[in-house]
Amino acid sequence: VDLIWADSADPADFFWAHRGLSGSYPENTIPSLSAAYESGAKWIETDVDICDDGTLLICHDSTLDRTTNVSGRAVDLVAEDLAHVDAGGWFSPKFVGTPLPSLDEVVALVNETGGNLNLELKPTEAGARAAHSLVSGVLDELEAIEDPSRVLISSFSPLLLATLHQAAPQYPIACLFEQATLGPDWLTVCELVGASAIHPELAGLTREMVQEFKAAGLQVHVWTVNDLATANKLRNWGVDAVFTDFADRFIAAWAN
Ligand code: G3P
Ligand code: CA
């Protein structure tokens, strides 16, 4: 692959760490997020959901089954259920005992490192009231980050994004789309929620689509790109960043 990085741009701006360094660490844990920053990534991505008692949960799936040693849906859990969860052993025996992080800990890491955070609000299965609690809980935690431009809020749910944007317009917003939901109304959705970025799925993405997103004035961040040849092609198309599970390797490869 002929890698293009002829300009002075920094590869650390291009490769965003999807659930942290999730190729080498248990996703969405502090070791994964912290290793991503240590490897030079400027942006980490993580997912936040809400439990039955209003506790915020850093977890990608709507259940804990795949990524921890317990099972259950976020909507059925309370804080006590999360206290002794092992979120590392499923990935490798090396990580047995890794706790589930709180959003508070993620925010502390962002502040310690001076990094940037893309926080994805998971569409809660608990309905509109919980959606409101999710947004207000997240906003309470984010207050500890002084500069709102270091945070990018994304979601597949226009309701969550619009609710957040109305309450706290200082935070940049990104609309997430799967190809299946990327219909002709993408621009209307982005405008309605005040988005400055669009996060389309890689599968089915074309150069023409990227050009349309850019022509609309949006930053384009594509998920999830785990090979360098594809990353290279997307950069040629004008994509601003890609989410990858291998931010460490890709930043190093491109820098050399
Ligand atoms: O935010 C980009 C990407 O994380 C969206 O998909 O399923 O990995 O949360 P998913
Ligand atoms: Ca995500």
pLDDT digits (tens, 9 = 90+) for 11-20: 999 999 999 9
Neighbours of 8 (CB within 10 A): 5
Range of 52's domain? 11-255
59-98 burial, b at 16+ Cβ within 10 Å, e below that, comes to bbbebbeebbeeeebbbebeeebbeebbbbebbeeebeeb
Tell me, in angstroms, the distance from the centre of ligand 1 to residue 202's CA: 11
All residues at 6 or more sequence positions from 161 whose CB lies less than 8 Å from its CB, including other chains: 121, 153, 154, 155, 173, 175, 193, 194, 195
Instruction: Grade residue 125 by pLDDT with cuts at 50, 70 and 90.
Output: confident
Specify the amino acid at residue 40: G
In a domain, 38, yes or no: yes
- Is residue 159 over pLDDT 90? yes
Q: What are φ and ψ of residue 38, in 5° steps?
A: -60, -30
In a domain, 137, yes or no: yes
In a domain, 5, yes or no: no
Strands 56-58 and 43-50: antiparallel
Tell me, in angstroms, the distance from the centre of ligand 2 to residue 45's CA: 7
Atom of ligand 1 nearest to the CA of 156: 5
Contact 225, 202 (CB under 8 A): yes
- Residue 15's SS3 state is strand
Neighbours of 37 (CB within 10 A): 22
* Residue count (the chain): 256
In a domain, 4, yes or no: no
Instruction: Grade residue 22 by pLDDT with cuts at 50, 70 and 90.
Output: very high
- Protein residue with its CA nearest to atom 2 in ligand 1: 223
User: Does this model's pTM top 0.90?
Assistant: yes
| CA atoms within 13 A of residue 63's CA, in its CB half-sphere | 7
| CA atoms within 13 A of residue 253's CA, in its CB half-sphere | 16
Tell me the per-residue pLDDT of 160-214, one tens digit each, with 9 for 90 and over. Answer: 999 999 999 999 999 999 999 899 999 999 999 999 999 999 999 999 999 999 9
- Residue 256 to residue 249: CA distance in whole angstroms: 11
In a domain, 56, yes or no: yes
Pocket of ligand 1 (CB under 6 A): 18, 45, 47, 60, 120, 154, 176, 199, 223-224, 243
- Residue 106 to residue 117: CA distance in whole angstroms: 9
- Per the model's pLDDT, the better-predicted residue between 83 and 95 turns out to be 95
Average pLDDT, the chain: 94
Q: What are φ and ψ of residue 140, in 5° steps?
A: -60, -45
Tell me, in angstroms, the distance from the centre of ligand 2 to residue 46's CA: 6
In a domain, 246, yes or no: yes
CATH number for 163: 3.20.20.190
Q: Is 18 a catalytic residue?
A: yes
The pLDDT, as a whole number, for residue 6 is 58
Residue recorded with tokens 């200082």: 170
In a domain, 131, yes or no: yes
Atom of ligand 1 nearest to the CA of 47: 9
Is this prediction's ipTM beyond 0.90?
Answer: yes
Strands 15-18 and 43-50: parallel
In a domain, 235, yes or no: yes
Tell me the per-residue pLDDT of 40-77, one tens digit each, with 9 for 90 and over. Answer: 999 999 999 999 999 999 999 999 999 999 999 989 99
Total domains, the chain: 1
